[in-house]
Amino acid sequence: MSVGAKPSMKNGILLVNKPEGVSSARVVDQVKKIFQVKKAGHTGTLDPFATGLLPVALGQATRLSRFFLGSAKQYRAVVTLGVETDTLDKTGKVLSRAGADQLAAIQPEEVQQVVAGFAGVQQQVAPSFSALKHQGQPLYKLARQGKMIKKPPRTIEIHAIRVTAMTLPEFEITVHCSGGTYIRSLAHDMGRLLGCGAHLSGLCRTGVSQFTLDRAHDLDMLQTCDRQTAASHIIPNYCCVFAL
């Protein structure tokens, strides 16, 4: 590229604030239409019920996607005690419910202690309803057929975790973790340690590598603004490298 030339606005990372109820793949399709590009992909899926930061790579920047997949993530999550589901989140089929007396016995100090205990390097079992593959098939597709496959535990690291709000049986946490960490599994494991079961009832991703949610753009805005304005929100390839 010659000195003074502008980088292509069809190559780079677009930070999208994914709304609830939309799949990550659907967001990518919408971005493709907005910018009229053939090549695009997200850098780490968010479940349809989750919201927050979804970096979408355009054009040549898709080569960087794999680096963002393994990068650190930050989340704000809501955990609901007393109910376990097959998906480990609010979208799943209820498998068990704790009794009212059992829930009433849980003290805020106990929740704080359990949450704090998840900091550090540990082994985590991914949900059976996940995009991980078994013999070439995504686990969630097998789970929908009644085949609940459990993959071997994987090493993850929780860099920081804390309770930010609590109105039992719900509490909110913030998590800074390694790539590949399932917050649904965290919620499930917390419930097991507290002896009452739990599921993830809310999730917002607030950070991916050095990118933060406050820099993300709503799909509605991108769809209604002119193309030049929309293109101005794309982070060029060379800037994305420094974020890794």
Look at residue 76 in the predicted model and tell me its pLDDT: 98
Residue 180 placed within a domain:
yes
CB 74 within 8 A of CB 103: no
What ranges make up the beta strands (E) of the chain?
A: 12-18, 40-42, 51-58, 73-81, 83-85, 94-97, 120-124, 133-134, 137-138, 154-167, 170-177, 198-208, 211-212, 217-218, 235-236
More confident residue, 9 or 164: 164
Q: Which residue in 184, 216, 235, 211 sits closest to 10, CA to CA?
A: 235
Query: Quick one: pLDDT band at residue 172, thresholds 50, 70, 90?
Result: very high
Look at residue 7 in the predicted model and tell me its pLDDT: 43
CB 118 within 8 A of CB 174: no
* Cα(172)–Cα(59) distance, integer angstroms: 37
Q: Are residues 160 and 180 located together in one domain of the fold?
A: yes
Q: Are residues 57 and 127 located together in one domain of the fold?
A: no
Residue 6 placed within a domain:
no
Q: Are residues 80 and 193 located together in one domain of the fold?
A: yes
Number of domains in the chain: 2
Residue 193 placed within a domain:
yes
* pLDDT value at 167 more than 60: yes
* Weakest-pLDDT range from 59-68, 171-180, 189-198: 59-68
Residue 47 placed within a domain:
yes
Q: Are residues 56 and 174 located together in one domain of the fold?
A: no
Residue 86: active-site member: no
Highest mean pLDDT among 6-20, 66-80, 192-206: 192-206
Torsions phi, psi for 51 (to 5 deg):
-125, 175
To the nearest 10°, report the CA torsion of 151, 199, 22, 154. Answer: -20
* pLDDT value at 123 more than 90: yes
Determine the structural domain holding residue 95 and report its residue range.
Answer: 73-207
Q: Are residues 47 and 159 located together in one domain of the fold?
A: no
Q: Are residues 117 and 33 located together in one domain of the fold?
A: no
* Cα(189)–Cα(164) distance, integer angstroms: 19
Q: Are residues 195 and 214 located together in one domain of the fold?
A: no
- Residue 152 DSSP symbol: P
Look at residue 2 in the predicted model and tell me its pLDDT: 38
Within 10 Å of residue 160's Cβ, how many Cβ atoms? 10
Residue 18 placed within a domain:
yes
Q: Are residues 21 and 56 located together in one domain of the fold?
A: yes
* Weakest-pLDDT range from 84-88, 114-118, 139-143: 139-143
pLDDT, tens digit (0-9, with 9 covering 90-100), for 144-160: 656 666 767 899 999 99
* pLDDT value at 214 more than 60: yes
To the nearest 10°, report the CA torsion of 32, 15, 63, 139. Answer: -80
Residue 66 placed within a domain:
yes
- Of 29, 47, 89, 189, the active-site residue reads 47
Both structure tokens of 36: 């009229």
Q: Are residues 97 and 183 located together in one domain of the fold?
A: yes
Q: Are residues 82 and 199 located together in one domain of the fold?
A: yes
CB 122 within 8 A of CB 156: yes
Which residues, including other chains, have CB under 8 Å from residue 166's CB and lie 6 or more apart? 108, 111, 172
Domain harbouring 35, CATH code = 3.30.2350.10
pTM: 0.86
* pLDDT value at 162 more than 60: yes
